[in-house]
Chains A and B, each alone.
Chain A
């Protein structure tokens, strides 16, 4: 994980004095850190530098984003990333330090929380940026209260995630992974013909959550001859798919359920025993949202008992732990939360993170702001 950029090295060698003092000093001090050409240029007109930020653009980095490391990309130039794991201070003291208190942005990743408490202790923060599409690890209400902007992965992942949802669905219905296992252990020669699967065409598919990802999933499902209906917080006015306000009713009228919504208080364990029973013995559930949207314990029990036909799961309640009972089932396909991890999406995501940071610190509109719906 050695992607420390030369900028960070420069930073660590300068004093840890608060920035306002540094700003008053001679412009020759640490001018390489500044992005403003006028501040660095001794031949400038002599007028005051533009009112853009001249101080190092400080970003509290809660965890080094694997998205950069995985594609061998260094963290971007032109920002000062404050890293708790490189400080000898305990996290609380680190947050209280002058440097960190001056941070204007927080960059986080899925599963690394930005809490109300943290926001309270960092009054200079005006942007929370996450590398994930999911936002359940950020206290959005507190951000709203404080006027802190939030930006995420935008549409970068939508296609990837939709692709995996369809891949998992085809795998479960047509027994792709199970068939591959059958061949590799020699059973095709010794035991004969493999079991029959179930046709996709004509299946009634229910999409839970019709945001960017849900819409990409629906579009693909249609190409396979599935009829699509959906459940969402609110009916979408521009969408022709039949809407069900109640997810259990949706399940009753579907053969397949694809979970594409975010995790929040309302959606936690929304897919419960009743919904799964409504989906039925031949029903298949695919989850590319968050593990806790489904009551995992109930789902496992129903699968084991044969009350639910099958499941394709990329997410679980306690990753990377996967319920043991599922490991023995052939009608379940298990994926280690890989929905977004392709080289293509990571490259786009890194561009987006850099783009959002640049925009924020240049007082330009964010590229992928999270808007209230």
Chain B
């Protein structure tokens, strides 16, 4: 298969890169000096694109690759892939569901605890020598707090299960109410936000969910409320979020994603009620290896005419 051209959209994982190199003819898109030139030269041999949460396959790229058969994403999110275009052209799309569900859910709860119990701020307090001069402030208990989840898919459900171990009452909003679900459903995000202490974004990013966290939702969550975003940056109207936090209209936030990664609004750097992570939701050795194997497995399956492992399109 080493004559099959695979275009890797951006750096994402050394092991994956190595394996792709071994098995295919690998093109590293980020190392290409002149993209139009490169595409003219090599488009004909590229039959697969490997993307991630950072870069995938938009309409422009898809059009430029006439022999593209499959887009295999090193992520579960598909917001960087023009799914409509892929369907139109019969291009297969795969992602990496399930293998990263637990890590992302673990991190969501880790962020809840870090924000409410000020774990990062306390650690900084100790490291700066301040503990010698006086005790840290009181923080807020996590156990028993109401948790609202936007999106009750694999990740949302895993978050709920963990929060239940902390006796948190769970409520949710999603496109449609889930039958046989023991959690309380709210038909709108604003209503959900009005009725929970901690709001967690766990839905896919689509045109409908862009800026699903807007001023109205933030106001509903309020000065004691906490927002946790382990979805995608564009889920949140970031300037609104920043001003709400800076002005004290929102109680706190735990963020793993931002509108323009790796840029993070600097106004947040001085706040101790905010925890800022560099998009590490699935960032464990174990899970990234599993994700890489899934990408490779899907490509193998496709090019040997076997059923795809985790197809989306």
B29 within 8 A of A: no
- Docked-complex contact B106 and A335, CB < 8 angstroms: no
- Docked-complex contact B110 and A199, CB < 8 angstroms: no
Number of A-B contacts (CB under 8 A): 180
Q: Cα distance A183–B276 when bound, in Å?
A: 7
Specify the chain B residue showing the minimal Cβ separation from A319.
B131
Q: Cα distance A169–B162 when bound, in Å?
A: 15
B278 within 8 A of A: yes
Q: How many residues of B contact A (CB 8 A)?
A: 53
- Docked-complex contact A199 and B264, CB < 8 angstroms: no
A168 within 8 A of B: yes
List which A337-353 residues lie within 8 A (CB) of chain B.
337-338, 341-346
> Secondary structure of the A side of the interface?
helix
Chain A proximity mask over B261-278: 1 for CB below 8 Å, otherwise 0: 111100001000001111
Residues on A with C-beta less than 8 A from B11 are 193
- Docked-complex contact A167 and B277, CB < 8 angstroms: no
List which B154-194 residues lie within 8 A (CB) of chain A.
161-162, 164-167
Known contacts A176-B119, A223-B161, A345-B141; decide if A167 and B135 are in contact (CB<8 Å): no
Chain B proximity mask over A211-237: 1 for CB below 8 Å, otherwise 0: 000000001101111000000000000
List which A155-183 residues lie within 8 A (CB) of chain B.
159-160, 162-164, 166-168, 170-171, 173-177, 179-183
Residues on A with C-beta less than 8 A from B166 are 159, 163, 220
- Docked-complex contact A224 and B119, CB < 8 angstroms: no
Known contacts A167-B114, A336-B136; decide if A196 and B119 are in contact (CB<8 Å): no
- Docked-complex contact B140 and A196, CB < 8 angstroms: no
A4 within 8 A of B: no
- Docked-complex contact A342 and B280, CB < 8 angstroms: no
A197 within 8 A of B: yes
Q: Cα distance A177–B286 when bound, in Å?
A: 20
- Docked-complex contact B110 and A171, CB < 8 angstroms: yes
Q: Cα distance A319–B111 when bound, in Å?
A: 27
Residues on B with C-beta less than 8 A from A163 are 113, 117, 141-143, 166
- Docked-complex contact A184 and B138, CB < 8 angstroms: no
CB distance from A117 to the nearest CB of B (A): 29
A334 within 8 A of B: yes
- Docked-complex contact A183 and B264, CB < 8 angstroms: yes
- Docked-complex contact B119 and A167, CB < 8 angstroms: yes
Specify the chain A residue showing the minimal Cβ separation from B276.
A183
CB distance from B312 to the nearest CB of A (A): 24
Residues on B with C-beta less than 8 A from A162 are 143
Residues on B with C-beta less than 8 A from A168 are 119
Residues on B with C-beta less than 8 A from A343 are 138-141
List which A272-298 residues lie within 8 A (CB) of chain B.
none
CB distance from A358 to the nearest CB of B (A): 25
- Docked-complex contact A197 and B164, CB < 8 angstroms: no
B209 within 8 A of A: no
Q: Cα distance A225–B106 when bound, in Å?
A: 10
A89 within 8 A of B: no
- Docked-complex contact A223 and B162, CB < 8 angstroms: yes
Known contacts A220-B166, A346-B138; decide if A201 and B102 are in contact (CB<8 Å): yes
Specify the chain B residue showing the minimal Cβ separation from A339.
B117
Q: Which stretch from A6-14, A140-148, A320-328 is at the chain B interface?
A: A320-328
- Docked-complex contact B114 and A171, CB < 8 angstroms: yes
Residues on A with C-beta less than 8 A from B123 are 171, 177, 333-335
B241 within 8 A of A: no
List which B100-119 residues lie within 8 A (CB) of chain A.
102-103, 106-107, 109-111, 113-114, 117-119
Q: Cα distance A345–B288 when bound, in Å?
A: 39
A194 within 8 A of B: yes
- Docked-complex contact A198 and B286, CB < 8 angstroms: yes
A91 within 8 A of B: no
Residues on B with C-beta less than 8 A from A319 are 131
- Docked-complex contact A199 and B119, CB < 8 angstroms: no
Known contacts A223-B161, A338-B136, A343-B138; decide if A180 and B102 are in contact (CB<8 Å): no
B243 within 8 A of A: no
Residues on A with C-beta less than 8 A from B263 are 189
CB distance from B55 to the nearest CB of A (A): 13
A85 within 8 A of B: no
CB distance from B126 to the nearest CB of A (A): 4
CB distance from A261 to the nearest CB of B (A): 21
- Docked-complex contact A164 and B117, CB < 8 angstroms: yes
Q: Cα distance A305–B161 when bound, in Å?
A: 38
CB distance from B18 to the nearest CB of A (A): 16
- Docked-complex contact B141 and A176, CB < 8 angstroms: no
Specify the chain B residue showing the minimal Cβ separation from A216.
B143
Residues on A with C-beta less than 8 A from B103 are 174, 199-201
- Docked-complex contact A174 and B107, CB < 8 angstroms: yes
Q: Cα distance A327–B126 when bound, in Å?
A: 8
Residues on A with C-beta less than 8 A from B262 are 188-189, 192
- Docked-complex contact B119 and A336, CB < 8 angstroms: no
Residues on A with C-beta less than 8 A from B131 are 319-320, 322, 336
Most buried by B among A176, A188, A202: A176
Q: Cα distance A320–B134 when bound, in Å?
A: 9
Known contacts A183-B276, A199-B102, A320-B132; decide if A341 and B139 are in contact (CB<8 Å): yes
Residues of A within 8 A of B (CB): 66, 70-71, 159-160, 162-164, 166-168, 170-171, 173-177, 179-184, 188-189, 192-194, 196-202, 219-220, 222-225, 319-322, 327, 333-338, 341-346
Q: With A177-B123, A194-B278, A222-B165 given, can you name 6 additional A-B contacts, CB distance below 8 Å?
A: A167-B113, A180-B275, A197-B283, A199-B284, A321-B132, A342-B117
Residues of B within 8 A of A (CB): 11, 102-103, 106-107, 109-111, 113-114, 117-120, 122-127, 131-132, 135-136, 138-144, 161-162, 164-167, 261-264, 269, 275-278, 280, 283-288
Report 8 cross-chain contacts, Cβ distance below 8 Å, ordered by A residue. A66-B135, A166-B109, A167-B117, A177-B124, A200-B103, A220-B165, A335-B122, A336-B122
